[in-house]
């Protein structure tokens, strides 16, 4: 959105019409409230940006179908000029006409009609330019169907609108709704406005509404409507003094028959504007982040670069985008309902006074008339930014223009930098509500995203701290590496031809995150259907599985007005985290995934793993919906956002750690319960602390050797791209083990039956070498802080151990540690093993089978972090890293 500049934020409210309580839709579900429908249609208005239109910012839904709309606002309007009773000069009339037509024409190109054009909806900015307000009311209410009041003002309504009459959906006498108004209705309204400017008075103000409407209809019998209006209002002389081209413009606008009335586009080409149009530069829509156009093509720098520098007393906040300022206003304590209540726009009524006299069995009530507060109040209340400006008064000007190449912290740009540095350590939910902190983070991410993909690594670095909610959609796209002309690609996909999956999609969508107002709206359902269908059609080797809709929900919510970006993010997310999960026969992929997950549970929490295995509560019974939907099926969206902020920074094995972290939060209840109780517990998952879950999953991830989560059905390494400067950076946390170059020391694929037979994870020889710091040529060197503590336990006989072993390993022969029953024997060797409890224990043997049995025994006695060396000691012999102890002299 464009900067706030000299504009203000304004709010107005209205009620959607209520639906009967006892009626269901054709699908058997309750009818969608009209306020939800309006909220869904409103979203597209946020993308309508033009110099002659007021920018829509947000809509919120209150009680009793109340809706509050926030938009760009100016105090001055044409009605202020009309109240003065002065006539406007012809030049001013033509200027206003041209600018209004420009706004109307842009709306028409987007399939919208104003229908509520009047003097107080034509606002004027500080330069005297036109800004059309409330142009989206007719669109968002489905041409007035979803509200109980007519859209438009009696004096400005076109004759064809009046002839259709008013329409109430609840009225059984109306079988069909009237045809929606077209662009030419606004031309008539503009004609009335221009006539009032030329005449210096308001039209038809001294007669009641029914007489006004009757008078407008009778104008069809007149040959010269302009002259008739002038005579009726006693301003014939003023009209006669107008230049011929202005009078001709009035006559064209006030043409009674719509078929002969020009459209805004046709009027803009009229010769009357030939002297004006050259003063206006054609509007060019700003290039979006993901497009084929060069984003800096329209960038113009002043000849003197110092002109860009601002004074110390400059209003930096006004240079921020309107939606950003509104977001900060809300964080600073802004309350829309409170603002409207203070201005008496929202009036409360004692509940006792709202009770009906009697109520029927079906819920219909009688004896209580509708209060005037439920009628349309056209007042727009200006939202004061004083509280926000006061909150940000300590933020220095440099904070609004951070240097991306500065090695210092991005939080050092404020007079209260120590407070901001302290804020970073606070819980995420507090940081997201801190006005000053969010301003700094939003500005930083805004600049980084504008430099994407050049600053891809910096985006990744800052995302590790946190992601501001306002820019989450674009930040996720950057983390997923989205590039290219997304819209063009999305438009080439056939989303209209019926396919067999359509029926299942239709069944799933009305059940997917329907507690959310946006996703439950009809517009949300339409977009859901299109994005899901686009994915199914563009991936012919994969199929639609239930759960794909839940996976789509976060991307659609964050990119509601950009289906192409939602589709692109989803298409990039699935191969990374859910590779081949959506095959028609995905059993081998799912089984391998769940087996590795079961081994990871045993690795991190053997006591819980032993208990769950004893009662037969295996991951197949509860974890498939977790991983198939990446937890979107079990958590609400606000928790998914925080969870995925971290998930997108990790590799494809990170979900395992999230799953273990969830189990550990439920650990006490799981250990205390049997199979039936666990089933009931997971059928309605208890409240999970997501921030704690994220922190614990990161800790679990750092303790898990990278090769331990190897899966042969994971995504293969990507093809090496050309040297374009944007090669994917290999980072320890985000790169997958499969992405590493394959060597003789790498993990080997294991048949599923053999994998299931083992309790413990396997670790590759190269991972062991790297973690034990035996070589300086490891594939990914980690700092000591990021490297888990590790101990190699060699279970071969003492003779074999003395012939060659890993430096730093300890020798604990199998036969002296465990009894035939699997009990841990008390001996010096077991004492040494107990000393290393808590470290990653890598069991090494000649045969992997014996190492697996030893590891299984350790897990049985609740030893955590036990894994086995893939390939055994023989895998290390060719490396020359085995050491032989010096002979005793």
Both 529 and 553 in one domain: the answer is yes
Half-sphere exposure at residue 357, Cβ-oriented, CA atoms within 13 angstroms: 4
Do 121 and 246 sit in the same domain of this protein? Answer: yes
- Any domain includes 151: yes
What is the rounded average pLDDT of the residues 534-563? 93
**89/203 same-domain check:** yes
Do residues 367 and 357 make contact, with C-beta atoms less than 8 angstroms apart? yes
Query: pLDDT over 70 for what percent of the chain?
Result: 90
Question: Which pair of tokens denotes residue 43?
Answer: 């979203």
373 within some domain:
no
User: Could you give the CA distance from residue 348 to residue 704 in angstroms, rounded to a whole number?
Assistant: 58
Nearest-angstrom CA–CA distance, 466 and 441: 9
Both 824 and 871 in one domain: the answer is yes
- Residues 321-372 pLDDT 10s: 999 999 999 999 999 999 988 888 877 777 777 677 777 776 677 766 666 6
Per-residue pLDDT of 292-329, as tens digits, reads 777 777 777 777 766 666 555 678 888 899 999 999 99
Pick from 636, 630, 528: which is nearest to 579 by CA?
630
* Long-range CB pairs of 359-366, under 8 A, 24+ apart, other chains included: 362/21, 362/22, 363/21, 363/22, 364/20
Same domain, 150 and 205: yes
162 lies in some domain: yes
60 shares a domain with 79: no
* Residues 857 and 821: beta-carbon distance below 8 Å: no
For the cut 80, the answer to whether the pLDDT of residue 774 exceeds it is: no
CATH number for 573: 1.10.8.270
In 3D space, the residue among 48, 69, 188, 205 whose CA is nearest the CA of residue 132 turns out to be 48
Specify the CATH number for the domain of residue 843: 3.40.250.10
Could you give the residue ranges of the DSSP H alpha helices within 280-425?
322-331, 336-342, 386-391, 417-423
Cβ-contact 103, 132 below 8 angstroms: yes
Give the model confidence (pLDDT) of 92-101 as tens digits: 999 999 999 9
Among residues 675, 704, 733, which one ends one of the domains? 704
State pLDDT tens for residues 818-863: 777 667 777 777 787 888 888 899 999 988 888 999 899 899 988 9
- Would 357 be classed as within a structural domain? no
In the chain, the number of structural domains is: 5
Domain identity same for 41 and 100: no
Mapped onto helix, strand or coil, the DSSP state of residue 176 is coil
User: For 33-86, how does the pLDDT look when each residue is reduced to its tens digit (9 = 90+)?
Assistant: 999 999 999 999 999 999 999 999 999 999 888 999 999 999 999 988 888 878
The DSSP string of 413-458 is: SSTTHHHHHHHTTS-HHHHTT-HHHHHHHHHHHHHHHHTTTTTHHH
pLDDT, position 415: 42
Q: Which two tokens stand for residue 261?
A: 């009335």
pLDDT-based confidence at residue 409 (cuts at 50, 70, 90): very low
Q: Using 50, 70 and 90 to split pLDDT, how confident is the model at 723? A: very low
* Residue at 434 is within a domain: no
Residue 429 lies in a domain: no
Rounded-to-integer distance, Cα 229 and Cα 216, Å: 10
Flag whether pLDDT at 26 surpasses 80.
no
Answer yes or no: is 374 within a domain: no
Sort 271 into a burial class: Cβ within 10 Å, 0-12 / 13-18 / 19+.
Answer: exposed
Question: Is residue 806 one of the residues assigned to a domain?
Answer: yes
Helix axis angle for 848-860 and 606-614, nearest 10°, is 90
pLDDT tens profile 451-493: 888 889 999 999 999 999 999 999 999 999 998 889 989 999 9
pLDDT value of position 175: 55
Paired strand residues for 123: 77, 131
Same domain membership, residue 99 and residue 230 = yes
Question: How high is the mean pLDDT of the chain?
Answer: 85
Structural domain boundaries enclosing 244:
75-168+180-279
3-state SS, one letter per residue, for 595-644: HHHHHHHHHHCHHHHHHHHHCCCCHHHCCHHHHHCCCCCCCCHHHHHHHH
For helices 435-450 and 322-331, what crossing angle results, to 10°? 160
Are residues 791 and 762 both part of a single domain? yes
Biggest CA-to-CA distance, the chain: 128
Other Cβ atoms less than 10 A from the Cβ of 688: the count is 16
Do 227 and 240 touch, CB atoms closer than 8 A?
A: no
Of 704, 729, 756, the one marking the end of a domain is 704
**pLDDT at site 288:** 79
State both tokens at 675: 């199979």
Span 257-267, mean pLDDT? 93
Contacts of 82 (CB under 8 A, 6+ apart): 119, 196, 197, 201, 202
Are 596 and 567 part of one and the same domain? no
Using one digit for the tens of pLDDT, what is the confidence trace for 666-706?
999 999 999 999 999 998 888 999 999 999 999 999 999 98
Q: Are residues 697 and 773 in the same domain?
A: no
Which tokens sit at 244? 């011929």
142 and 269 housed in the same domain: yes
Task: Give pLDDT tens digits for 420-453.
Answer: 677 888 888 999 999 999 999 999 999 999 888 8
User: Which of 279, 295, 328 is at the close of a domain?
Assistant: 279
């Amino acid at each position: 959105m464009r900067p706030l500049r000299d504009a203000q934020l304004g709010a107005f409210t209205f009620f959607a019409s209520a639906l009967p309580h006892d009626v269901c839709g054709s699908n058997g579900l309750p009818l969608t409230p009209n306020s939800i429908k309006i909220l869904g249609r409103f979203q597209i208005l946020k993308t309508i940006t033009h110099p002659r239109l007021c920018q829509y910012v947000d809509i919120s839904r209150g009680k009793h179908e109340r809706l509050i709309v926030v938009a760009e606002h100016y105090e001055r309007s044409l009605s202020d000029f009309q109240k003065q009773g002065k006539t406007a000069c012809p030049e001013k009339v033509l200027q206003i006409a041209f600018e209004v037509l420009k706004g109307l024409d842009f709306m028409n190109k987007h399939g919208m009609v104003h229908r509520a054009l009047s003097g107080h909806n034509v606002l004027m900015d500080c330069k005297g330019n036109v800004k059309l307000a409330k142009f989206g009311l007719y669109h968002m209410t489905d041409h007035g169907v979803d509200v109980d009041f007519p859209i438009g003002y009696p004096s400005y309504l076109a004759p064809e609108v009046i002839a259709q009459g008013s329409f109430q959906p609840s009225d059984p006498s109306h079988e069909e709704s009237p045809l929606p108004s077209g662009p030419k209705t606004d031309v008539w309204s503009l004609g009335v406005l221009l006539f009032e400017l030329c005449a210096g008075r308001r039209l038809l103000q001294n007669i009641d509404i029914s007489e006004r409407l009757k008078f407008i209809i009778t104008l069809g019998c007149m040959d010269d409507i302009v002259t008739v209006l002038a005579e009726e209002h006693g301003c014939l002389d003023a009209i006669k003094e107008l230049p011929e081209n202005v009078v001709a413009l009035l006559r064209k606008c006030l043409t009674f028959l719509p078929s002969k009335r020009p459209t805004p586009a046709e009027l803009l080409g009229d010769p009357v504007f030939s002297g004006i149009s050259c003063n206006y530069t054609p509007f060019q829509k700003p290039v979006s982040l993901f497009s084929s156009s060069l984003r800096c093509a329209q960038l113009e720098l002043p000849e003197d670069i110092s002109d860009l520098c601002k004074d110390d007393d400059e209003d930096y906040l006004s240079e921020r985008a309107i939606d950003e300022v509104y977001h900060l206003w809300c964080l600073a304590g802004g309350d829309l309902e409170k603002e409207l209540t203070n201005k008496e726009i929202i009036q409360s009524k004692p509940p006792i006074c709202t009770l009906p006299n009697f109520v029927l069995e079906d819920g219909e009530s009688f004896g209580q008339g509708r209060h005037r507060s439920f009628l349309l109040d056209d007042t727009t209340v200006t939202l004061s930014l004083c509280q926000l400006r006061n909150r940000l008064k300590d933020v220095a000007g440099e904070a609004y223009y951070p240097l991306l190449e500065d090695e210092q912290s991005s939080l050092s740009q404020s007079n209260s930098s120590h407070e901001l540095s302290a804020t970073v350590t606070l819980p995420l939910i507090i940081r997201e509500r801190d006005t000053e902190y969010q301003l700094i983070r939003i500005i930083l991410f805004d600049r980084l995203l504008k430099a994407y993909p050049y600053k891809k690594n910096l985006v990744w670095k800052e995302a590790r701290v946190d992601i501001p909610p306002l820019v989450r959609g674009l930040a996720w796209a950057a983390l997923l590496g989205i590039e290219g002309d997304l819209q063009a690609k999305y438009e080439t996909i056939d989303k209209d031809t019926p396919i067999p999956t359509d029926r299942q999609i239709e069944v799933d969508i009305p059940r997917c995150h329907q507690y959310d107002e946006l996703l439950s709206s009809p517009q949300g359902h339409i977009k859901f259907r299109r994005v899901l269908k686009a994915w199914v059609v563009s991936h012919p080797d994969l199929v639609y599985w239930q759960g794909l809709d839940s996976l789509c929900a976060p991307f659609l919510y964050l990119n509601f007005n950009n289906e192409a970006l939602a589709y692109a993010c989803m298409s990039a997310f699935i191969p990374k985290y859910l590779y081949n999960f959506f095959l028609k026969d995905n059993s081998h992929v799912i089984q391998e995934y769940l087996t590795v997950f079961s081994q990871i549970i045993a690795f991190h929490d053997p006591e819980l793993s032993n208990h769950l295995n004893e009662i037969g509560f295996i991951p197949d019974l509860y974890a498939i919906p977790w991983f198939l939907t990446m937890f979107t099926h079990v958590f609400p969206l606000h928790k998914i956002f925080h969870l995925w902020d971290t998930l997108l920074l990790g590799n494809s094995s990170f979900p395992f750690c999230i799953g273990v972290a969830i189990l550990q939060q439920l650990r006490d209840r799981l250990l205390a319960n049997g199979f039936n109780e666990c089933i009931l517990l997971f059928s309605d998952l208890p409240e999970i602390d997501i921030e704690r879950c994220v922190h614990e999953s990161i800790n679990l991830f750092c303790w898990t050797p990278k090769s331990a989560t190897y899966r042969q059905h994971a995504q293969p390494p990507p093809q090496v791209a050309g040297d374009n400067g944007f090669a994917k950076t290999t980072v320890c946390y985000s790169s997958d083990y499969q992405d590493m170059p394959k060597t003789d020391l790498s993990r080997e694929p294991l048949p599923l039956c053999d994998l299931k037979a083992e309790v413990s994870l396997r670790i590759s020889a190269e991972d062991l070498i790297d973690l034990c710091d035996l070589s300086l040529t490891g594939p990914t060197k980690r700092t000591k802080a990021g490297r888990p503590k590790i101990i190699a336990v060699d279970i071969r006989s003492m003779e074999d151990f003395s012939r060659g072993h890993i430096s730093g390993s300890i020798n604990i022969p199998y036969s002296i540690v465990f009894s035939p029953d699997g009990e841990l024997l008390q001996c010096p060797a077991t004492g040494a093993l107990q000393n290393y409890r808590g470290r990653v224990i890598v069991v090494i043997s000649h045969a992997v089978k014996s190492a697996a049995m030893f590891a299984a025994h350790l897990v049985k006695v609740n030893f955590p972090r036990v894994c086995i060396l893939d390939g055994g000691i023989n895998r290390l012999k060719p490396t020359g890293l085995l050491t032989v102890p010096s002979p005793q002299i």
